[in-house]
Amino acid sequence: MAEKSRQHQISFLGPEASFTHLAALKVFPEGSLLPFTTIPECIEAVAEDRVDYAVVPLENALEGSVPLTIDYLFHEAQLFVTAEVLSPIEQHLLVHPENRYAESFEAIYSHPHALAQCHKFLFYTYKTTPLEQFSSTSAAAKMVSELPERPIAAIGNEFSAQKYGLDILHRDIHDFHFNHTRFFVLSKTNHQLDTAGHDETIKTTLMISLPEDDRSGVLHQVLSVFAWRKLNLSKIESRPLKTGLGNYFFIVDVLAEESEPMMKGAYEELAAIGCSVKTLGSYYTYK
Ligand SMILES: O=C(O)C(=O)C[C@]1(C(=O)O)C=C[C@@H](O)C=C1
C-alpha cells in the first residue's frame, strides 16, 4: 500500500548536514527531521514509535556495507524498508578559517567510512597525521568549528562547510570517482513511500538463513529459486550469524515486488528447502 506525504517525524544520523541528513531531505523535504548520534539510536527511535521513519546509511560503493545497520535489522529490530536513497558522496578536507594556513594538523576527524573513502589521499598528503574516528562527518565538522585554537581538520561535505563556517582546504579527496551511498528509510509498518521523484524499478530486500543441516549445494538451491523464475537479483551478501564461525545469513535484493505471484512462489520454495526468510519489504529508489 502506498502512503502519501504529510508532516512526518524522521530520525537521522546527525548532526545537521551529514550525508544522512541530505538523504533524508530528498525524501522528506517538508518533514520534521530529528538528529541522533548513532545508527542504533535512529533505529530505536522508530522501533519505539518516537518517530515515523528512520533514515540510516546501508552501503557505500567504495567501502561496502554498514554492518551496524544490517546487523541491527537482522538481530534486533522488526522494521521495513519503505524507500532507499542513492546519493553521490563528495568528500572535502574542512578546516576552521583560522587554521587555513596551518603547516600541519594535530589530527583529522571523520566518520570511519569517510576516512576509508579518502585513504589514498590521506596516505600521500597527510601520512603522519593521526586519523580519528567520529560519529559522523558533520559531527566532526561541527567539532572543528568549535575548536579554532586547535589545528585540526575534518572530512565532510560542502553543506557541513557552509553550515559550520569552515573552509574547504582540499576538494573531492575521495579516492574513486564513483562514490555513492545507499540509505534506507525504515518504518514499523510494511508500506512503500510513493512521493514524487523515485525511479520506476521496485526492489525487495530479503534476509535468508539457510537450513541448519548444512547439506551441500543448499546455496545453489536458494539461487535457483530466483533463477528459474527469472527474478533478477541486484545484490547478494553474507553476514555472520554470530552463532559460530562459518554460520551466515544472506541479504538478497530482488528486482520485483513481494506481492508478485513469482515472489510468492519463491517464498514457498525457500520454506520448502528449509530456509527462514525475513522480508524487509518492497521499495522504490530516490536519487
Ligand atoms: O557521516 C555521515 O555524514 C553519514 O551520513 C554516514 C556515512 C556512512 O555511514 O557511510 C554516510 C555516507 C558516507 O558514505 C559517509 C558516512
* Assigned C-alpha cell, 118: 579518502
- Evaluate if pTM is beyond 0.90: yes
Q: Any idea which fold 2-88+179-195 has?
A: D-Maltodextrin-Binding Protein; domain 2 (3.40.190)
Residue 137 CA to ligand 1 centre (angstroms): 7
Q: Which one of 10, 11, 13 would you pick to mutate in the ligand 1 pocket, going by the greatest count of ligand atoms within 8 A of its CB?
A: 13
Closest approach atom of ligand 1 to CA 87: 12
Tell me the per-residue pLDDT of 28-83, one tens digit each, with 9 for 90 and over: 999 899 999 999 999 999 999 999 999 999 999 988 888 889 999 999 889 999 99
Closest approach atom of ligand 1 to CA 18: 3
Domain with residues 199-286, CATH architecture:
2-Layer Sandwich (3.30)
* Cis-peptide into 148, omega within 30 deg: no
Closest approach atom of ligand 1 to CA 134: 1
The answer, yes or no, to whether any atom of ligand 1 lies below 6 A from the CB of 18, is: yes
Domain 92-170 classified CATH 3.40.309.10? no
Residue 156 has pLDDT above 50, yes or no: yes
Where does CATH 3.40.190.10 sit in the chain? Answer: 2-88+179-195, 92-170
Where does CATH 3.30.70.260 sit in the chain? Answer: 199-286
d(CA 44, CA 263): 30
Closest approach atom of ligand 1 to CA 157: 3
d(CA 259, CA 210): 23
Are 258 and 279 within 8 A, CB to CB? yes
Sign of the four-CA dihedral 223, 225, 227, 233: negative
What is the overall mean pLDDT for the chain?
A: 94
The pLDDT, as a whole number, for residue 1 is: 47
The answer, yes or no, to whether any atom of ligand 1 lies below 6 A from the CB of 114, is: yes
Residue 6 has pLDDT above 70, yes or no: no
Q: Whose CA is nearest to atom 12 of ligand 1?
A: 19
Tell me the per-residue pLDDT of 214-254, one tens digit each, with 9 for 90 and over: 789 999 999 999 999 999 999 999 999 888 888 899 999 99
Tell me the per-residue pLDDT of 93-137, one tens digit each, with 9 for 90 and over: 999 999 999 989 999 999 999 999 999 999 999 999 999 999 999
* Assigned C-alpha cell, 188: 514499523
The pLDDT, as a whole number, for residue 3 is: 52
